[in-house]
Chain A
Amino acid sequence: MYWYHYLGLAALVVFAVAMLWHFLRLIREGNPKDFSKKTGNLVKAEAYAYTTAMMPNHKETAYLHIPTFTAGALFHIGTFISILLFAVFFFISPAQFPLWLSRILTVCILAGAACGTGLLIKRMVVKKMRDLSHLDDYLSNFLTTLFQLFTILYLMLPHMFAPVYYIEVTVLLLYMPIGKLRHVLYFFAARYHLGRFYGWRNVWPPKK
């Protein structure tokens, strides 16, 4: 292991501790106490909130915005693959990856990075998006897209890009808990509360 591996590992520890703090805070604060009489099934509603309710045909934010939704999905897939690879890289050097696998991963991540760049440009160009955005929005997208690009470079040219890859990952991991990227945790919490709210009142799952 080189110094940059330790740097990445240290950032990962800081990230994990910070996100754990966010998580434990939510647990400590707990569920809202609801004294009304429950009429629905919370388990079914929670399952629905995390599955069917997320399907593109169930949300206007998806089916009215197919290009943006698709770009967002690909951007996230690219990110997930890059995160997975970050973990794998501690055990297997990119140089040991078979060429066919490196190429497949590169194409997938490149698609994600391209979509990330597209979304960043949209945020800068479209007035309603610009009005909604602040520095954190641009920085979060930029760091994540850069993470994907450096993952590709590290995958292709490991000896040349190893230090810069780990430095970028370090910045990203340290920034995640303080910027909007912490939605990596709060997304799940939001779906949980939504499922609970609609499930309590027998709105979800829909009865048709």
Chain B
Amino acid sequence: MEKLTTEQIDKALHLLKMRPDSKLETHLNACVHCGLCAESCMYYKTLHDDRYMPARKVELVAALYRKYCTLIGRVAPFLVNARPLDEQMAEEMTDALFGACTMCGRCVKHCSIGVDIAYVVHFGRRMLAAMGLVPATLQATVDAALQTGNNMAIPTADFVDTIQWMEEDLQDECGSEARIPLNETDKNILYTLNPREPKFFPLSIAALAKIFFAAKESWTISTDMYDVTNYGLFSGNNEHAKSIAKRLHDEVFNKHCKILVLGECGHGSRANRWEGPNYLQHSYEFETITAVELINTYIREGRIKLDKSLNQELVTLHDPCNLVRNGGLESELRYTISQSVTHFKEMTPHGIDNFCCGGGGGQLAMSEYNERRIAIGKIKADQIRNTGAKVVVTPCHNCVDQLIQLNNIYKLNVKIKTIAEIVADALVLE
């Protein structure tokens, strides 16, 4: 690693010293180093490397906190392991906080104290981002979103082509009234997508459009800003995250829509639903819900009719961390699945205890750590295999991407579907 400049260090330490509330202070003072969190972490369970114990990740940031923010750390650093921010520390932080954590929060729920380890890891990433030490591939993803409006830099013409192609397919199935409306105004819903959908999985767009058609929904997609993702959440650069979130927020006003519906993307939902208003420092003036909640509402209100016998294969569900453990949608997901499939089996563990797929926290975007990502994914692969399911449903396109790779590498022989796809398969059009 190149020598850190004083300016880089000052920027990182400025963040540490400017603690805005008691949350960071609390979590940096609470860990007792019991070490019992190790077995809750996919990285430690798979790689058996002590450096990847969640407590060690917290310790990196806490050691800096003690050095620069406590009297005892300045007077007797050897006593409390107060460490300076230098090249070695920055290197350790980059490897552990970017390269060995999906910020899934599983260790948080199980921590004997209640330390929000993922929050501390995110703060550590913010310090690294302030020093310009975000892994190049992750930063490139953020840059693409900032420069082109979507993280895969899909040209608008290509996007429009894909949507029109899907609309034609939809009309073949549902009739000419079925549409995928682009750039219309004064609609009820502004719908968003993970750019992986137009790029790799356009059928999931068609599936959701079919549901909207069945529910007689008034909706539109903006070609200017349809990207639900926000990799600023993972890079730790809150200014970038704010810019991306603001564009989507503003687009709801530009299109005069009433509800922002977040497409099937775990981190995108989190970044806009829970973090977005905090990036912008004000409440959103419109309703923001996830596609999971919207579909759930359609089913409960009878706006769509489902025939679960149309999905006969054994289905299991992968709970995306950002929608379930960090988003509270455990029961909503299960209700939707229960109405859509005949045979369902839970993974062990599941719900808020579920293991991450391994692709979260920006790992899918960071090719530097591909080998680790696939290695830790073995836990998820084993979970899936043990259910005996033929179909894995998950409402997150990042998870879909990781699960497809795990499917190939660990030879699971399963189909991976989104919630919209499994619901669309059971849809009864009247």
Contacts and interface: CB of A to CB of B under 8 A. Distances in A.
B162 interface: no
Contacts, number: 172
A129 interface: yes
Contact of B27 (A29, A193, A198): A193
Nearest to B288: A37
Given A31-B22, A183-B30, A206 B80 contact: no
B353 to A, nearest CB: 8
Interface stretch (B53-61, B137-145, B177-185): B53-61
Contacts of A186: 26, 29-30, 113
B112 interface: yes
A36 B116 contact: no
B303 to A, nearest CB: 21
Interface stretch (B152-160, B203-211, B274-282, B380-388): B274-282
A135 B77 CA distance: 10
Interface string B267-290: 000000111111011111000100
Contacts of B80: 134-136, 178-180
In this complex, the member of B71, B114, B119 whose beta carbon has the largest number of chain A beta carbons within 10 angstroms is: B114
Interface stretch (A57-65, A92-100, A160-168): A57-65
B21 A31 contact: yes
A183 B58 CA distance: 15
In this complex, the member of A34, A127, A134 whose beta carbon has the largest number of chain B beta carbons within 10 angstroms is: A134
Contacts of B352: 203, 206
- Judged by DSSP, the binding face of B is helix
Contacts of A70: none
B29 A183 contact: yes
Interface string A145-164: 00000000000000000000
B115 interface: yes
A201 interface: yes
Nearest to A49: B114
B351 A206 contact: yes
* A interface residue count range (under 10 / 10 to 19 / 20 to 34 / 35 or more): 35 or more
Interface string A181-193: 0110011011111
B110 interface: yes
B36 A65 contact: yes
A29 B21 contact: yes
A40 B352 CA distance: 15
Contacts of A25: 22, 25
Contacts of A190: 26-27, 30, 113-116
B116 A197 contact: yes
B59 A132 contact: yes
Contact of B50 (A31, A68, A131): A131
B327 interface: yes
Interface stretch (B37-45, B215-223, B416-424): B37-45
Interface of B: 19-23, 25-27, 29-40, 50-51, 53, 55-56, 59, 70-72, 78-81, 108-116, 119, 273-278, 280-284, 288, 324-328, 330-331, 351-352
22 contacts: A26-B25, A29-B22, A32-B21, A35-B278, A36-B274, A36-B276, A59-B112, A61-B36, A61-B111, A61-B112, A62-B112, A72-B34, A128-B53, A131-B50, A132-B33, A134-B78, A178-B71, A182-B29, A183-B113, A190-B30, A190-B113, A203-B352
Which are the 8 A-B pairs with shortest beta-carbon distances? A202-B328, A35-B277, A61-B36, A134-B81, A29-B22, A186-B30, A190-B30, A190-B114
